[in-house]
Amino acid sequence: MEKIFINGGARLYGDIRIDGMKNAALPIIFASILTGDKCVIENLPPVKDVSTALDILRSMGASVRMLNKTTAEIDTAHVAAGISPYDLVNRMRASTYLIGAELGRFGWAKVGMPGGCDFGVRPIDQHIKGFEALGAEIFIENGYINARCPSRLTGSSIYFDISSVGATCNIMIAASVAEGTTVIDNAAREPHIVDLANFLNTCGADITGAGTNMIKIRGVKKLHGCEYAIIPDMIEAGTYMAAVASAGGRLNIRNIIPKHIESISAKFLEMGVSITEYDDYITVSSNGRLNRVNIKTLPYPGFPTDMQPQVAALLCTAEGISTITEGVCDNRFRYLEDLRRMGANVSADGRTATIIGVERLSGAPVRSVDLRAGAAMIIAGLAASGTTIIEGIESTLDRGYYDIVGKLRQVGADIKRVQVSDTDAIRMVN
C-alpha cells in the first residue's frame, strides 16, 4: 500500500503544467468504438482511469498502441460488443459510455453496471430515457445493462430532467450515427461536452450547439478515424490553484484555457487570492490567509462540484464562517470527517456544509475517500502544522491526477509518496 506524507508549512513557487482532461478523455476513448477505424488521441492524462478505459477497449478486441506517454493510437476495427470485463467496467462510472458506443455501432450493448466515486445515489435514468427515445429497449439483468435496437437508432427530441454530463455524452455518442436528427434539450454545457462533440465532428459527425443547453445531432451513416487532442483539465488546474491558495506562494499554472476556470477564479478572487490571466496560463499568488465565502456548486458554467472538496479544505482556515451548498451530487461531504481529524470546525446538514475558520489545521492520518477528497487532504496538509499521512490513494487520487506528489515537490512542497508494508515499514517511492 502507498501513502502520501506531507509536512505542512512550505510555500509554493514555480511552474505547474496541467495535463489533458480526464473527463473529456474518457467519453472520447469510448466513442472511438463508433468509427471501426484508427484514431490517434493526444494529450491524454496518464492517469488510472485512462489506462482502465484503454484496457477495456483492448479486452473488446481493439488494438491500442501508446505512441508516447500521452498519445494513444486506437484501432477499433475488430471490436465486438457485449464483452467488456465486468471488473474493469465496475471501476468507474464513465464505463456507461460503452452503452452509447456499442448501441450506435452494433445495435445492441451489454455493459456491467457502473462503479466509480461513492457519493450518494448516481442513477442513470436520464441515460435510459435518452436511449429509449432513440428507439432502444433497455433492461437490467444479472448486474448488466442490456440495450438493443432491432433496426437503426432513430433520431428524436429528448428533454433531460437534469443537465446530466454523462447522459448528454452518452446520447450524443449514440445519436451521432442514428437515422435522422436528435435534439437534446437541457443538455449539460461543460467544456468536455464540447470536446466530445468536436471529436465526433472530426470523425465525420454533424453536431451543433454543444456548450449550450440545446444540442442538435444530425445522424450520419458512418464515422471515420481521426487525430484529436484532448483539452486541458480545468479541475486539475483548480486543484493547484487551491494548493497555492492554501500553502501561500506564487505558481504559474500552465497549459490551460482560462475561460474554462472562470467560475473557479471568480471565487478565489473573492477569497483574496491574486490571479493574473494570460493566453494559456495564469499566475496565482496568496499569503495563505483567506476571506470567508459562500459557494453553491452548479452545472457548468457554475462553480464545479469537482472542486467542492478542495475549496472546503481551503476554507477551514479562512477568516470567518463559510458555507458550501452542493447543488449537483447527492452526498459529497464524506471527507469532512477527515478534515475534522485535522482540527477543522466543519459540519454538514443535508446538502450544505458550514465551515468555521480556525487559525491552523494540524497534520493527522487521513483517508482519501474519493478522487477529489484525496486532493482536498493534500491541500489541507500543505498548510497544516506537522505531518499529514494520506492513505487510500491508489484507488482514488491516482484515478485522476498524474504525479501530483512530483508536481508539488517540484515547486517546494515537503511531500513524498512511500510504500508502506503491512508491518508499517516504509520505503520512499518518489
Give the Å distances, CA to CA, from 347 to 195, 323, 356.
Answer: 37, 10, 9
Q: How far is the CB of 96 from ligand EPZ (least distance, A)?
A: 8
CB 359 → ligand EPZ: shortest distance, Å? 30
Choice between 193 and 346, CB closer to ligand EPZ: 193
Question: Whole-number minimum distance, CB 22 to ligand EPZ, in Å?
Answer: 6
Residues 214-252 as b or e (16 or more Cβ within 10 Å = b): ebbbebbeebebbebbbbbbbbbbbbbbbbbbbbbbbbb
Query: Rg of the Cα trace of the chain?
Result: 22
User: Please, where are the H alpha helices in 72-215?
Assistant: 86-89, 97-106, 125-133, 165-175, 191-202
Contact of 322 with 280, CB cutoff 8 Å: no
User: What is the phi/psi pair of residue 19, to 5°?
Assistant: -90, 180
Q: Which residues bind ligand EPZ (CB under 6 A)?
A: 23, 26, 93-94, 117, 121-127, 162, 164-167, 188, 305-306, 328-330, 371-372, 400
Q: Are 295 and 266 in contact (CB under 8 A)?
A: no
> In angstroms, what is the minimal distance from the CB of 137 to ligand EPZ?
17
As measured in angstroms, the least distance from the Cβ of 243 to ligand EPZ is: 17
Is the bond leading into 309 cis (omega within 30 degrees of zero)? no
Closest to 317 (Cα-Cα) out of 348, 354, 361: 361
Q: Look up 117 and say whether it is catalytic.
A: yes
Which residue in 39, 117, 149, 316 is the catalytic one?
117
Name the residue number minimizing CB distance to ligand EPZ: 166
- DSSP letter at 320 equals S
Active site residues: 117
